Amino acid sequence: MLAPTVGLYIRGRITETLSWHWLFLINLGPGAVMSLLVAWHILIDNPDWANIRRLDVLALVLIAIF
């Protein structure tokens, strides 16, 4: 519950002292670090094609429509 309160203050300080562009640029560093950590820790195996029979096609079509 602290993030909504502190986030407003930090966002205001960044826009007042630097520019509103920094609100987007400040996330590039942590985003790159997290992308590298995920790529390093998540193991991707070969797909199990036997599970394709259990695919709910109707739900997939309804998700695409709605």
pLDDT digits (tens, 9 = 90+) for 1-47: 788 888 888 888 888 888 888 888 888 999 999 999 999 998 888 88
d(CA 63, CA 11): 36
> pTM value?
0.49
| Residues 15/23, Cβ–Cβ less than 8 Å | yes
42 class by beta-carbon count within 10 Å (0-12 exposed, 13-18 middle, 19+ buried): exposed
Phi, psi dihedral angles at 2 (to 5 degrees): -80, -30
d(CA 31, CA 28): 5
